[in-house]
A and B are shown apart, each in its own frame.
Chain A
Amino acid sequence: MSLSDVPTGEKVRLVDVMAGRGLKMRLAAMGLLPGIEITMAQNGGAGPVVIYVRNGKMILGRGAARKVKVKIF
């Protein structure tokens, strides 16, 4: 499933980023790498999502979130 489909409060693990090199590298630099644990802080169903990752809070545009493939713990 995509990160954009994860409901608020759910904890997931990143599987892959299905995106071009640019976004992939940017997310990697921010620590969004395969295997990392992500907690959904806010997902309103539209617009960007807020996630907790590596003890920090981040905003991800919906487009970017759609490209992040995750699996539920």
Chain B
Amino acid sequence: MLRFDDIPLYYSMTLNNTTPPIFDLKVNRGRQVVFQGGLRPGDVADLGAYKLRFQGLEPWMTFNLTLDRGVTPIFAGFIITLLGFLLHLLFWPRRVEWMVTDDGWVVRVWVRRGDDVFEEKWHAWCHQLGLKAA
């Protein structure tokens, strides 16, 4: 943070990717706007106690040398696990079985994961039909 007479200079800057690049700069000192405008390479912004020169852009390059043979199967496994979890969240397996016994029809139903709403509805439905909910 730059300070001038103990008053901080607040700045916002944007680099526009044009030809040549333009560096949009706005500098405030308190409520006063010290500088506002676009800088081309070589231009100087006069901020009072400071001067800011936009020298330009330099091309640069980074090399990454990596060897991680085991990562691809791990990543694939992670994706498959995620898809399985998605299916688990989208579909709530519920199983209904019914059979005829000497006493009449017996209906059994269960869910494979905690679904309190289903249990509640099942009980209400049985009550409505006059059936005994297990």
The judgment on whether A and B are partners is no
What residues of chain A have their CB less than 8 Å away from a CB belonging to chain B? none
B residues whose Cβ falls under 8 Å from a Cβ of A: none
